Amino acid sequence: MQYPWHKPLWQQFLKVWQQQRLPHAILMTGAKGLAKTDLALAIAQYSLCLKPTELTACGQCHSCQLFSAGAHPDHLLIEPEEAGKTIKIDQIRALKDKQSLTPNISAWKTVVIHPAHKMTTSASNSLLKLLEEPPAQTLLILVSSQPQQLPVTIRSRCQLWPMQSPENNVTENWLKQQGTDISTSQLAILHPLAKGAPLMLQQLQENGVNVLSEQLQQDLQLLMQGKANPVQMTASWQPYDLLTVMHILFYEVKNQLTLQPNAAEAGMLWQIIDCIQSTIKLVSSSNNYNKTLITEDFMVAVMRISRSGQIEKAPLSRVSL
Ligand SMILES: [Zn+2]
């Protein structure tokens, strides 16, 4: 098994398969970066395989070969046509047309929808009709890292299969096996950002969290010196997840506090930490926020705190009042 944290759900699948209690629809949830879709596809391949063993699909039969080639007539993977975009009603309609045909090669038909929360409202409504009258011998797997964004009517018709993020030591070992060089202290910083998902951790580590972190350190200095242009800086932060940015800044400011600044500086840093924490709270509590506005507000607040700190040189006791 490529990903050790898939084991519990894979065993759960084998159990219901052997007992012939496979549900019509599964909603597989868990943090982004657990390779949930890979497991959903492995389940689909097993269900379609003509000669499955007790533990895995055979990988050799006609069905497995077609599946590996992405050309199995009884299987459908529905994803947004472009990364980050929605899943449209036409895609769900195409699924329903396909469902009305009988299986070609295998005894089952399988559908994987990923990320399911990207379905438009009309696509969800269309899928709901299929869930209300599920066709026989059909397995539908919805994969989502944000299931709360799915309509309750859809969620209630699926069996929930939550995938847990692995323990720290499992993640650390797995990353080492993949050749990702990560120190225990880096892991401690990145772990909450990635919600413990190893592939997300790997991505953060390899694709720029270090670069991002350097840029943010410089930006923070500019903000604190009052030399930043919040509009331009907000644009440069735009590609990044705001929560990730705030968590990195949080660690950066905390680091500065360990350098034993004087009382005025320390007071200023604590106020910036307050700002970061309220921004994190704001962003975490809503799916629908104005990122540009929140980012600019944050920058202006940091500049204001730094400016008042520099002018007044206020001692810590005064600032904390
Ligand atoms: Zn096979």
In a domain, 168, yes or no: no
What confidence score (pLDDT) does residue 320 get? 36
Over residues 269-286, the mean pLDDT reads 91
Distance, CA 8 to ligand 1 centroid (Å)? 22
95 vs 128: CA distance, rounded Å: 12
Distance, CA 64 to ligand 1 centroid (Å)? 4
Q: What is the pLDDT of residues 88-114, one digit of tens each?
A: 999 999 888 776 666 688 999 999 999
What confidence score (pLDDT) does residue 244 get? 84
216 and 269 assigned to the same domain: yes
Yes or no: say if 316 and 267 are a contact pair by the CB < 8 Å rule.
yes
In a domain, 54, yes or no: yes
Distance, CA 78 to ligand 1 centroid (Å)? 22
71 and 147 assigned to the same domain: yes
33 and 154 assigned to the same domain: yes
51 and 116 assigned to the same domain: yes
Distance, CA 17 to ligand 1 centroid (Å)? 15
Distance, CA 199 to ligand 1 centroid (Å)? 28
C-alpha closest to that of 315 among 261, 258, 251, 267: 267
What confidence score (pLDDT) does residue 208 get? 63
Distance, CA 133 to ligand 1 centroid (Å)? 29
233 vs 251: CA distance, rounded Å: 20
Over residues 290-296, the mean pLDDT reads 93
Distance, CA 141 to ligand 1 centroid (Å)? 19
Distance, CA 75 to ligand 1 centroid (Å)? 14
Looking up tokens 């497991």 gives 39
134 and 263 assigned to the same domain: no
pLDDT of 137 strictly over 50: yes
In a domain, 27, yes or no: yes
Query: Looking at 162, 197, 229, which one is the last position of a domain?
Result: 162
Q: What is the pLDDT of residues 119-130, one digit of tens each?
A: 999 999 999 999
| CATH code, domain with 93 | 3.40.50.300
Tell how strand 159-162 and strand 75-78 pair up: unpaired
Distance, CA 68 to ligand 1 centroid (Å)? 10
144 and 250 assigned to the same domain: no
Distance, CA 51 to ligand 1 centroid (Å)? 5
In a domain, 192, yes or no: no
Yes or no: say if 5 and 163 are a contact pair by the CB < 8 Å rule.
yes
Distance, CA 140 to ligand 1 centroid (Å)? 19
Number of folded domains that form the chain: 2
pTM value? 0.71
What confidence score (pLDDT) does residue 207 get? 66
53 vs 37: CA distance, rounded Å: 22
70 and 154 assigned to the same domain: yes
158 and 212 assigned to the same domain: no
294 and 150 assigned to the same domain: no
Distance, CA 22 to ligand 1 centroid (Å)? 19
28 and 119 assigned to the same domain: yes
In a domain, 212, yes or no: yes
Query: Looking at 162, 194, 219, which one is the last position of a domain?
Result: 162
Over residues 143-167, the mean pLDDT reads 95
Looking up tokens 């990207």 gives 118
What confidence score (pLDDT) does residue 319 get? 38
Yes or no: say if 184 and 201 are a contact pair by the CB < 8 Å rule.
no
Distance, CA 45 to ligand 1 centroid (Å)? 8
What confidence score (pLDDT) does residue 314 get? 41
To the nearest whole number, what is the mean pLDDT of the chain? 88
In a domain, 176, yes or no: no
In a domain, 183, yes or no: no
222 and 106 assigned to the same domain: no
204 vs 28: CA distance, rounded Å: 23
Q: What is the pLDDT of residues 169-193, one digit of tens each?
A: 899 899 999 888 777 767 776 777 7
What confidence score (pLDDT) does residue 312 get? 46
DSSP letters of 204-272?
A: HHHTTHHHHHHHHHHHHHHHHTT---HHHHHHHHTTS-HHHHHHHHHHHHHHHHHT---HHHHHHHHHH
Distance, CA 89 to ligand 1 centroid (Å)? 32
pLDDT of 315 strictly over 70: no
43 vs 257: CA distance, rounded Å: 50
Query: Looking at 162, 194, 224, which one is the last position of a domain?
Result: 162
Dihedral pair phi/psi, residue 140, rounded to 5°: -110, 125
81 and 229 assigned to the same domain: no
What confidence score (pLDDT) does residue 273 get? 96
What confidence score (pLDDT) does residue 4 get? 96
C-alpha closest to that of 203 among 237, 241, 253: 241
Reported as a pLDDT band with limits 50, 70 and 90, residue 229 is very high
Q: How many Cβ atoms are within 10 Å of 181's Cβ, its own excluded?
A: 10
Distance, CA 27 to ligand 1 centroid (Å)? 24
What confidence score (pLDDT) does residue 54 get? 92
Reported as a pLDDT band with limits 50, 70 and 90, residue 321 is very low
Q: What is the pLDDT of residues 45-85, one digit of tens each?
A: 999 999 999 999 999 999 999 999 999 999 999 999 988 78
C-alpha closest to that of 203 among 221, 180, 185, 222: 180
Where in the sequence is the domain holding 62, given as residue range(s)?
A: 4-162
In a domain, 74, yes or no: yes
Distance, CA 143 to ligand 1 centroid (Å)? 23
Residues 6 or more apart in contact with residue 21 via CB below 8 angstroms: none
